[in-house]
Structure 1
């Protein structure tokens, strides 16, 4: 562990103007606050924040960031408070510490909820100051270096998986490849211990059989360049076991079949020399087709620049990767944002979203998530993907996930363009929207007048931004459907109670139900979160005990039954005319010498019923009922398949299909589908109305 004076000397070595008093006070405060706490390794706990600070001194970060690293666990793991940190070390250090601090553990939350909420808070913090991310990455790196001391295997695997899914991709996003590779390698050892050990053993045997191949090939490349009058420094290294394993998985190859397990870096003076070196290397040894990448003319979004080529060494009978870059490019490749954060973001820590637009996109994706599981899925999808580079017709470059489609491209350009997308041209040719893009494609999006993304797109898009936007639109459409349904239900209840729904009546009712407004009441009724009696009692206290009976019928208020919990031997039928489903208001009618028939409350056939009426309700057990819908569809190939796919995508089963009408342009289908509730049916109808082949989709009630 670094001693106090050693840490201060490290910072002063690269920043003579650093606030020495601030660093000393932070060091002493952390040691006292953590006191006798121990880590899983048995070391004093305060050794961890000190080591994290030491990692950041290697990146030559400012004194406030180093102070934050020293203090980053004090609020979470000691009795220290945020107010105390602000008072003793200033608001900026306090803000950084708060950004790194996780939310307090809430016992009622699931693991996914805790992880999702911590991630949301963390990303909001780094969007305002990227130094929060640098501290957090150093914190995670040191935790991974000591992960083997944790005794519980499931905990080690959980931390390793989180590192692989969240923190290593974040490090890659800001170009800190050294951090990324080490975190991936350490996580790999815990997630795939057998594979890690096997590859390491094979690398040891390869090293024994080939001798100093890396050193010899480095000298060979450097000698070749110098013989052509080009000064260069060449270093080589064996690829890490995780990198090798990932290639084996991606290419479905064995270790023996892999030939490019060594990589070499050529460092030259300037950009023209990069291309000269490329020509010399490719001119001397055969280039492997499809393995050349020019990240100098088209840098990665994180700023990474380099030339990559793979060649076959005849004498060595091996394929090697050669990376060619300048000294500045190499520094940026190793340290990423940390290599130049001061002059890019400013010493005061300007908002990261201005310098790294992907952070803003990621925040949009996270804010659209409807659940913790969706948030985590979107975060992983947005951060951990292969990439493809495509162009707009004007030559603007966009980086997309590896399996991206024109829909992903449209959303990458702008959310509004994605919502209005109706077609696409790739390299001047009209293509299906599910077409997979490849490097160098030129993509042009055709816009429609209505912003209505197709829910079926979710089945093939590759980017988190596109998927989140489509889900958001479907949720909004579903909410609109439910809101309209709830308004009708509330109007029906008001009519049943024979009252006028004035503000004077509605206000107290909302207060009794603890709802903010009428819209919330309508939504709760549509989603069946409020019973008829609860709404009636809130509107007119006492009304639930005196339910209004249909005129001209002999209703029995004491005969309430559960459709799914009838007395053994009591049968019932669902009306085939109105086809009620769970969530509909229902009534039971017993015909003379016949079973009870359950109708929707607005069924036309009730006017002709002369039997005894019963108040009935849906049971609480999960059930499905067949609802009938009428869908008007364009008369075109594949239309019916698109309907079936949309219905299946929402977990519904088609149990009947009738072609009601057909002409040259359209046909109308009556479809019986099994649904779980009115809300489920509303979701399906909203999705169907977004299918391009569909003109209209409505429930058939009569």
Structure 2
């Protein structure tokens, strides 16, 4: 392990003498603070912060990041307060250290919750200063390099978290070298046998391939020399985890992956990249559809390069990356390559730094909207997908989205309000389903309508964390407003039976009941009633019962319109439709579930006023309702088509169909049909009865 003197010599090549001395002072402070503490390997604890600072020095990070690296475990492991660090080394360094420190003082129910809360805290610190994540990545990298001293269970847990969170973050910040090392170390810890097998296979394959690699390299160099182009040509090594992911994800054999030869050509200027592309396309035939120009359209993490695949000698595929030296540095070290503080404090962030800031801003928005830390970390994981599609707005602006994104993801990427009010989309000027995955190069136009609301079904196909978080947030607000509305109707229904209403009850009495139920505002109480967590009958009794008299059950049913939304559900056991006699069962957390009066599932609680309420259908009820029909008929050709055309002729719609034979002559078909009410259902049944060979039609109920 290099000493502080060796590190100071390295730092003096790019930092001023005063800054190097500040890093030294931070080291001696950490050495004193961690005095007597040892790592699992038996080494003095201070060797870890020193190693983390060395990793940041490789990236040419500024002195404050290096000081934070030296001190990053002081708050967490030694009991020294943040204020003490602030007094010694300044507010900026103290904030960086605090951002990297875990939440050790809090107790969490599960390990997953603890990890999620810690990541959430770090994300908020990242938003203030993005160097927090760079110190954290360096800290995690040294921990991964020294994993072997831990138990196998702990090794696997840390490796899993690294592969799921930290490697994708390194990729998102364009830090290729860090990501590759994370992935290979994580792979070795998670799957030691698989890692060893692939390592040995790669070793053998590289030995066999040496000759052909040299030949291709020579022909590429000769090709550049003929055109008078100066550039460095080198073979590119595939890393173990990358090979493993391709074998698993693309179902390819090891030999198929190793049969592709990869090279990188690094030149001085951007226009030379395109000259090199022309030269190599003249040397070997390019593979159609395999050319990507990431110079004109950089990846979301700032990566720039030209990618092409060629048919080489003897038909072997050759993958070539062409880039400038600056792009090479950028590809390997990402955001750390041209750090903001190298070019002066006041210079505006540009390139990868601006992109990273934008990403962190998005992370903070997710954090503010997420329901809890686990939901937040799930959204972040979704947002860290490495592959992108590039699509255009109608005005020609390029939008970067994860692979598999849909028009709904696009709408939320444009603006939250556009996503919330989205009703349809046009892809390349044709109307398309909102769930259709977008392809690179498509032009996407969103059709929105004022007053439109997100559909819960969108959660089944959106892929971006932003879309998922905002849909959930909008649905929670929608559910709350619908619950309050239903709760108010239920409470007033009970109060009306006793010549009273919510408006006529005194504010003092309302406040007394709110205090008793430990809720702050009336809306919270009404929401609880609408969700079925509190009974309207019991709340009404508390509001009215100044003398604790027993209240009778209210008379008359509550009318439902079918538009109550998320807090009104129709029981799947008996599938009620308008016109059926119905009752409402108040189910905790779900709101009201509507059953048929005759449903056996609620027979025991049918007359309990605290659990069931008499309902009726309003005259203006709207919507479509599913009904299951059992049709017995003689077996004949084109049976399904006949049934479908009959239902369609009665303006019905078949949602689901299944068939089984009772014997060789009679078939039984189960249809789930959507209808408006009982009269509509009667029309559908009448049409089905008119078919030749129909023996019996039965409506299925519980």
TM-score category of the 2 structures, normalised to the smaller one: 0.7 to 0.9
Cα distance, 1:25 vs structure 2 = 2.2
Q: Map 1:293-692; keep pairs closer than 5 Å.
A: 293-315=292-314, 317-342=315-340, 347=345, 356-491=357-492, 500-530=504-534, 535=539, 539=543, 546-550=549-553, 577-583=581-587, 598-599=605-606, 631-633=622-624, 659-660=676-677
Cα distance, 1:322–1:626 mapped onto 2, change above 3 Å: farther
Q: Which residue of 2 aligns with 1:136?
A: 136
Cα distance, 1:56 vs structure 2 = 0.4
Distance 2:331 2:648 in 1: 53
Structure 1 SS opposite 2:367: helix
Structure 2 SS opposite 1:632: coil
Give yes or no for the alignment of 1:235 onto 2:234: yes
Q: Which residue of 2 aligns with 1:687?
A: none
Give yes or no for the alignment of 1:102 onto 2:96: no
Cα distance, 1:494–1:49 mapped onto 2, change above 3 Å: farther
The alignment of Structure 1 onto Structure 2 pairs a total of residues equal to 606
8 Å Cα contact 1:407/1:418 also seen in 2: yes
Cα distance, 1:522–1:125 mapped onto 2, change above 3 Å: same
Distance 2:223 2:474 in 1: 59
Distance 2:682 2:382 in 1: 39
Distance 1:510 1:349 in 2: 55
Cα distance, 1:541–1:190 mapped onto 2, change above 3 Å: farther
Structure 2 SS opposite 1:482: helix
1:63-121 per-residue CA deviation (whole Å, 9 max, x = no partner) reads 11100011111111221111111111111111111111121253343222212211211
Cα distance, 1:401 vs structure 2 = 1.4
Distance 1:458 1:87 in 2: 48
8 Å Cα contact 1:391/1:398 also seen in 2: yes
Q: Which residue of 1 aligns with 2:188?
A: 189
The alignment's TM-score, normalised by the length of structure 2, stands at 0.78
Structure 2 SS opposite 1:264: strand
RMSD: 3.7
Q: Map 1:59-208; keep pairs closer than 5 Å.
A: 59-104=59-104, 106-151=106-151, 153-208=152-207
Cα distance, 1:381–1:80 mapped onto 2, change above 3 Å: same
Distance 1:492 1:13 in 2: 80
8 Å Cα contact 2:652/2:674 also seen in 1: no
Cα distance, 1:359–1:345 mapped onto 2, change above 3 Å: farther
Structure 1 SS opposite 2:67: helix
Q: Which residue of 1 aligns with 2:2?
A: 2
Q: Which residue of 2 aligns with 1:608?
A: none
Distance 2:609 2:522 in 1: 26
Cα distance, 1:180–1:550 mapped onto 2, change above 3 Å: closer
Cα distance, 1:145–1:631 mapped onto 2, change above 3 Å: farther
Structure 2 SS opposite 1:211: helix
Cα distance, 1:482 vs structure 2 = 1.0
Structure 2 SS opposite 1:117: helix
Cα distance, 1:356 vs structure 2 = 3.0
1:468-516 per-residue CA deviation (whole Å, 9 max, x = no partner) reads 2222222222111111122234445656788752222222332333222
1:415-464 per-residue CA deviation (whole Å, 9 max, x = no partner) reads 22222222222222222222222121122222223332222222222222
8 Å Cα contact 1:36/1:44 also seen in 2: yes
Distance 1:238 1:380 in 2: 27
Cα distance, 1:585–1:408 mapped onto 2, change above 3 Å: closer
Between 137-146 and 337-346, the greater mean CA deviation after superposition: 337-346
Q: Which residue of 1 aligns with 2:700?
A: none
8 Å Cα contact 2:335/2:356 also seen in 1: no
Cα distance, 1:59–1:403 mapped onto 2, change above 3 Å: same
Cα distance, 1:669–1:157 mapped onto 2, change above 3 Å: farther
Distance 1:474 1:4 in 2: 55
8 Å Cα contact 2:391/2:399 also seen in 1: yes
8 Å Cα contact 2:382/2:464 also seen in 1: yes
Cα distance, 1:669 vs structure 2 = 11
Cα distance, 1:179–1:348 mapped onto 2, change above 3 Å: farther
8 Å Cα contact 1:494/1:501 also seen in 2: no
Cα distance, 1:350 vs structure 2 = 7.8
1:17-46 per-residue CA deviation (whole Å, 9 max, x = no partner) reads 542442222111211222222222222222
8 Å Cα contact 1:424/1:445 also seen in 2: yes
Distance 2:207 2:163 in 1: 31
Distance 1:636 1:332 in 2: 61
Q: Which residue of 2 aligns with 1:649?
A: none
Cα distance, 1:182 vs structure 2 = 1.0
Cα distance, 1:355 vs structure 2 = 5.8
Distance 1:345 1:425 in 2: 44
8 Å Cα contact 2:553/2:609 also seen in 1: no
Q: Which residue of 2 aligns with 1:58?
A: 58
Q: Map 1:216-231; keep pairs closer than 5 Å.
A: 216-231=215-230
Distance 1:110 1:551 in 2: 46
Cα distance, 1:263 vs structure 2 = 2.3
Structure 1 SS opposite 2:423: strand
1:598-633 per-residue CA deviation (whole Å, 9 max, x = no partner) reads 447xxxxxxxxxxxxx77659xxxxxx999996525
Q: Which residue of 2 aligns with 1:272?
A: 271
Distance 1:9 1:396 in 2: 48
Structure 2 SS opposite 1:325: strand
Distance 1:425 1:120 in 2: 37
8 Å Cα contact 1:131/1:349 also seen in 2: no
Distance 2:157 2:552 in 1: 59
Distance 1:453 1:482 in 2: 17
Cα distance, 1:455–1:466 mapped onto 2, change above 3 Å: same
Distance 2:348 2:87 in 1: 23
Cα distance, 1:355–1:160 mapped onto 2, change above 3 Å: closer
Cα distance, 1:328–1:641 mapped onto 2, change above 3 Å: farther
8 Å Cα contact 2:26/2:71 also seen in 1: yes
Between 415-424 and 142-151, the greater mean CA deviation after superposition: 415-424
Distance 1:28 1:13 in 2: 21
Q: Which residue of 1 aligns with 2:560?
A: none
Cα distance, 1:347 vs structure 2 = 3.3
Between 251-260 and 233-242, the greater mean CA deviation after superposition: 251-260
Cα distance, 1:460–1:439 mapped onto 2, change above 3 Å: same
Q: Which residue of 1 aligns with 2:635?
A: none
Distance 2:84 2:498 in 1: 59
Query: Structure 2, unaligned stretches of length 5 or more?
Result: 556-579, 594-601, 626-646, 658-670, 686-702
8 Å Cα contact 1:579/1:628 also seen in 2: no
Cα distance, 1:237 vs structure 2 = 2.8
Distance 2:609 2:148 in 1: 64
Q: Which residue of 2 aligns with 1:700?
A: none
8 Å Cα contact 1:581/1:627 also seen in 2: no
8 Å Cα contact 1:390/1:439 also seen in 2: yes
The alignment's TM-score, normalised by the length of structure 1, stands at 0.78
